[in-house]
Amino acid sequence: MITSFRTAAAVLPAAACTSALLVLGSSTPASAGVLDVTCAPPSSEVVNFSPPLTMTPQTVTVSTTTQYGPCVSLSNPALTSGARTNSSSAPGQTCLELLTNGPTTFTVTWNTGQTSTISANRTSTVVGAALVTTHTGTVTAGLFAGSTAVQVLTGAAADVLPCTLGLGTVASIYSAVTLEITSV
């Protein structure tokens, strides 16, 4: 009985150490990605709605201007900023469009003249007083093709929530932007 206790006492610490090493070893990723480029605030986006969004469906022209910068790229040090603009009209738009999720594609034009086309899944949610929109996807063409991309826009939700209740309009949204493109 005492021999079994001594054997167990000697084996348990060794087993615990082995288990800890296995757990620690398995938490390390097999291959870590390399950050191709990161752009942080004061990167920003302004989206204008004409006419302003309401809860009554209507044709709305949506104009988007995004400024990326400062940006840092170790693989392409000349890349320091980027931009994208888009304008489109769509029928049946309401305030609820601001909270929709789904696929999206956009192209960033870098200060070097190169472009990156990103295909992503868009998710939008209100977190406290902020409207947070996240684009998670892949660079499908151009500079950094094949890399993953995550863009997070954080803007004020002050006009969004009243509008979804039919108590106001949304003429524009200003958001701070963070963009990270990582090779896999």
What confidence tens digit (pLDDT) does each residue in 116-174 have?
999 999 999 999 999 999 999 999 999 999 999 999 999 999 999 999 999 999 999 99
Tell which wins on pLDDT, 44 or 18. 44
pLDDT of residue 4: 36
* pTM greater than the 0.85 cutoff: no
Residues 83/150, Cβ–Cβ less than 8 Å: no
Cis link prior to 70 (omega < 30° from 0)?
yes
Of the candidates 110, 31, 44, the one whose C-alpha atom is nearest the C-alpha of residue 73 is 110
Tens of pLDDT, residue by residue over 78-91, are: 999 999 999 999 99
Q: What is the pLDDT of residue 178?
A: 98
Please state the φ and ψ torsions of residue 147, each to the nearest 5 degrees. -80, 160
Dist CA 60 CA 69 (whole Å)? 29
The per-residue pLDDT for 32 is 64
What counts of helices (H) and strands (E) characterise the chain?
2, 10
Query: Average pLDDT over the chain, rounded to whole?
Result: 86
Is 69 a residue whose pLDDT tops 60? yes
> Cα separations (Å) of 89 from 34, 44, 149?
38, 22, 26
Tell me the residue type at 9. Answer: A
* Half-sphere CA count of 183, side-chain side, radius 13 A: 9
